[in-house]
Structure 1
Amino acid sequence: MDETQWARHVAEVAAGHPHLAAELDDHGVPERWSRPPGFPSLVLLILEQQVSLASAAAAYARVRARTGAMTPAALLATTSEQLREDGVSRQKDRYLRALSAAVGSGDLDLAGLATLPDEVAIKRLTQLSGIGPWTAQAYLLACLDRPDVWPVGDRALQVAVAERLGLAHVPNGRELEVLGEQWRPHRSTAARLLWHGYLSRRGRRETNVDLAP
Structure 2
Amino acid sequence: MFEQFSHSNFHSICDKLAAGDPDLALIIQNHGYPPLWSRPNSFETLVHIILEQQVSLASALSALNKLRERVQEITPARVLLLTDEEFKACYCSRQKTAYIKYLAEAIISGQIDLEAMEQMPDDVIRTKLTALKGIGNWTVDVYLMFVLQHTDVFPIGDLAAVNALKRVKNLQKDILKEDLLAVTEQWKPYRTVAAMLLWHYYLSQRAPVPTKPSRKV
TM-score, normalised to structure 2, is 0.90
Does residue 160 in structure 1 map to residue 125 in structure 2? no
Q: Which residue is equivalent to 1:35?
A: 39
* Structure 1 gap segments, 5+ residues each: 209-213
Query: Does the C-alpha gap of structure 1 residues 172 and 139 become closer, same or farther in structure 2, counting only changes over 3 Å?
Result: farther
Structure-2 separation of matches of 1:115 and 1:5 = 20
| Correspondence 1:84 to 2:88 | yes
Q: Shift in Å at residue 88 of structure 1?
A: 0.7
SS of equivalent to 1:29: coil
Q: Does the 8 Å contact 1:35/1:143 carry over to 2?
A: yes
Q: Is the 8 A contact 1:157 1:194 kept in 2?
A: yes
From 192, 200, 205, the equivalent of 2:196 is 192
User: Which residue of 47, 61, 72 maps to 1:57?
Assistant: 61
1: distance between equivalents of 2:210 and 2:31?
12
Q: Please, what is the CA RMSD of the aligned residues?
A: 1.6
Of 133, 138, 141, 2:137 maps to: 133
Contact 2:13/2:190 (<8 A) preserved = no
What amino acid sits opposite 2:75 in the alignment? Answer: T
Task: Write the distance in 1 (CA, Å) between the matches of 2:176 and 2:210.
Answer: 24
Deviation at 1:180, TM superposition (A): 1.0
* Structure 2 counterpart of 1:11: 15
Aligned mates of 2:145, 2:178 — CA distance in 1: 19
1:152-210, CA deviations, whole angstroms, 9 ceiling, x for partnerless residues? 111111101011111231545333222211111100100000011111111222249xx
Counterpart of 2:3 in structure 1 is: none
Aligned to 1:206: 211
Q: Which aligned runs of 4 or more in structure 1 are off by greater than 4 angstroms?
A: none
Closer, same or farther: CA 156–169 of 1 in aligned 2, 3 Å: same
Match of 1:180 among 169, 177, 184: 184
Decide whether the 8 Å contact of 1:44 with 1:57 is kept in 2. Answer: yes
Structure 2 unmatched ranges of 5 or more: 1-5
Q: Give the paired residue count.
A: 207
CA contact (8 A) 1:76 1:100 kept: yes
Q: TM-score, normalised by structure 1?
A: 0.92
1:12, distance to aligned residue in structure 2 (A) = 2.6
Alignment partners' CA distance in 2, 1:184 and 1:38: 28
Change (3 A) 1:83 1:171: farther
Kept after mapping to 2: 8 A contact 1:27/1:197: yes
Where relative contact order (Cα < 8 A, 6+ residues apart) is larger, the structure is 2
Q: Deviations over 1:29-61 (max 9, x none)?
A: 110011111211111100000001111111101
Identity fraction in percent: 41
Write the distance in 2 (CA, Å) between the matches of 1:85 and 1:178. Answer: 44
Alignment correspondent of 2:78: 74
Question: Which moves more between the two structures, 182-191 or 106-115?
Answer: 106-115
One-letter amino acid of the counterpart of residue 205, structure 1: P
